[in-house]
């Protein structure tokens, strides 16, 4: 095993529970190979998930993909960052491209597409993406995540239906 792998595994093992040790291990790994896409991806995740510095996170993800467009580990985290940062058009383009990459977890990408649609309150499209995610999933652990996203979206749809029904009742009461 290469030394960089040792430090990368330490960083992955420590994240997100011990950020100080994560950064220390990442810095060592980065000093061995500044073009390692896993290292850059984890730096990006720290920027997005811990520091809420989405522009800096995007920079790390873009750098990783510039090094290797097939760095499959980058896409889900980059997509989540784009969605949270409300870069919806960029996220849609990345989703469209990611779905063409051989070996990528298409189920995970469809879930991100669903979350993108949810963020834009396009709930029917979000459910359609969930259906595609379910059809393309090949690993049991992803099924739970898919179901949870589906429940959340369905809850929002139900909330909107209840709101419409309530406003109809209120308008009937006012007209009497």
Residue 24 CB neighbour total at 10 angstroms = 15
Residue that finishes a domain, picked among 54, 72, 104: 104
Domain of 19 in residue numbering reads as: 1-104
Q: Are residues 87 and 11 in the same domain?
A: yes
Average pLDDT value over all residues in the chain: 93
Rounded to whole angstroms, how far apart are CA atoms 85 and 66?
21
Q: What is the pTM of this model?
A: 0.90
Rounded to whole angstroms, how far apart are CA atoms 2 and 21?
19
> pLDDT digit string (tens) for 68-94?
999 999 999 999 999 999 999 999 999
Q: Are residues 148 and 87 in the same domain?
A: no
Contact by Cβ (8 Å): 7, 26: yes
User: Would the CA dihedral through 97, 58, 109, 122 be positive or negative?
Assistant: negative
Contact by Cβ (8 Å): 75, 64: no
């Amino acid at each position: 095993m290469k030394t960089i792998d040792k430090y990368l595994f330490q960083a992955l093992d420590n994240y997100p529970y011990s950020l100080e040790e994560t950064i220390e291990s990442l810095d060592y790994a980065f000093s061995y190979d500044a073009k390692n896409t896993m290292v850059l991806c984890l730096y990006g995740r720290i920027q997005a998930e811990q520091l809420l510095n989405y522009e800096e996170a995007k920079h790390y993800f873009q750098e990783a993909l510039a090094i290797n467009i097939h760095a499959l580990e980058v896409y889900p985290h980059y997509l989540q960052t784009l969605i949270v940062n409300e870069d919806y058009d960029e996220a849609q383009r990345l989703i469209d491209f990611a779905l063409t990459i051989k070996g990528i977890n298409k189920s995970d990408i469809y879930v991100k597409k669903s979350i993108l649609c949810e963020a834009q309150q396009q709930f029917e499209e979000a459910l359609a993406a969930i259906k595609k995610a379910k059809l393309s999933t090949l690993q049991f652990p992803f099924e739970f995540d898919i179901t949870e996203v589906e429940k959340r979206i369905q809850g929002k749809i139900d909330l909107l239906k209840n709101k419409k029904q309530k406003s109809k009742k209120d308008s009937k009461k006012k007209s009497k």
